[in-house]
Amino acid sequence: MRTFSVKQVFVIWVFLVAISSLSLLMPHEPLLFSSVLNNSIQMLLFVTCLHIVKHEPTRRNRYVFLNLTVAFGFSLLFHLYNFVPGGGSYFRLFYYQYVSGAFQFALTFAIAYLTIDFLFTNRMRAAHKYAVTFIIFIRSLPTLGIFMIMMTCVIMLFSRSLLKGTRKNSASLQRERFLHPKLRFRFGVTEFDQAT
C-alpha cells in the first residue's frame, strides 16, 4: 500500500495548470482572472480527490471521493468553455448552461451521498447508498427538468429581444413570406413594412 503524497498531487496539479495556461495561447474568448483562479483551484481539488480514490485504504471512503472527483472533473469542461466561439449561435450559451448545471448536479449528488453515507455508515452497502441517493434525485428530477426547460426558454426569449434591435424587419419579412396577401394587413404587415 502506497502512502498519500502531497508532492505527487502538487506536481500533477502544476502540470495541469501549465497545460491549461499554454492552451490559452490559442484563440479564445476573453476571460477574467477570477475564472482562471477558480478553475485552477477546482483542478487542484480534482487531482486531490483522484489521488485519494487511488490510495485510500478504506473502501467506504473511496466512493465519497469518487463522487467528488466526478464533480470537480467538470473543471476540465469549464476550461474548454473558453474556446467555444461566441458568435451568433446559442451554442456557447447552452454549453455553459448545461455544463454548469451538470456540475451543480454532480456536486449535489456527492454531498447527498456523503450525507447518506454518514447516516447509514455500517448499516448499508455502497450499492444501497447509491440507490437511495438516486431515488432522492429521481424524486426531484422533474422539478430540476422543468427548471432547466424554463431557464432555456427565458434565455432564448431574452436573447431574441436583444437581437430585435439588430434584425428589425426579420419578423415582418418572415410573416410576409408565409402569409397570403389578403392576410398580411390583418397580421400587421403593411405596405410601409414591405418597403423597408
Mapping DSSP onto H, E and C, the string for 81-140 reads HHHCCCCCCCHHHHHHHHHHHHHHHHHHHHHHHHHHHHHCCCCCCHHHHHHHHHHHHHHH
- Nearest C-alpha neighbor of 95 from the set 111, 108, 112, 82: 82
User: For residues 155 and 22, what is the distance between their CA atoms, to the nearest angstrom?
Assistant: 33
pLDDT > 70: percent of the chain: 69
- Cell 499554454, residue? 22
List the Cα angle 97/67/152 in 5-degree steps: 15
Query: For the chain, how are helix, strand and coil distributed in percent, rounded to 5?
Result: 75, 0, 25
Taken in order 174, 178, 181, 184, is the CA torsion positive or negative? Answer: negative
Q: What is the pLDDT of residues 101-142, one digit of tens each?
A: 889 888 888 988 988 888 887 788 888 888 888 887 777 666
Amino acid type, 135: I
Q: How many CB atoms lie within 10 A of CB 110?
A: 22
Q: What is the pLDDT of residues 69-79, one digit of tens each?
A: 999 999 888 88
**Radius of gyration for the alpha carbons in the chain, expressed in angstroms and rounded:** 25
The structural domains of the chain, with segments of one domain joined by +, span: 6-179
Query: Helix, strand or coil for residue 26?
Result: coil
In the 8-state DSSP scheme, what is residue 27?
A: S
In this prediction the pTM is 0.66
Q: What is the reported pLDDT for 193? A: 46
- Cα-based distances in Å from 163 to 31, 117, 157: 23, 49, 10
Higher pLDDT, 26 or 182: 26
Q: Are 39 and 21 in contact (CB under 8 A)?
A: no
Give every CB contact of residue 73 below 8 A, 6+ residues apart in sequence.
46
Q: What is the pLDDT of residues 41-58, one digit of tens each?
A: 999 999 999 999 998 888
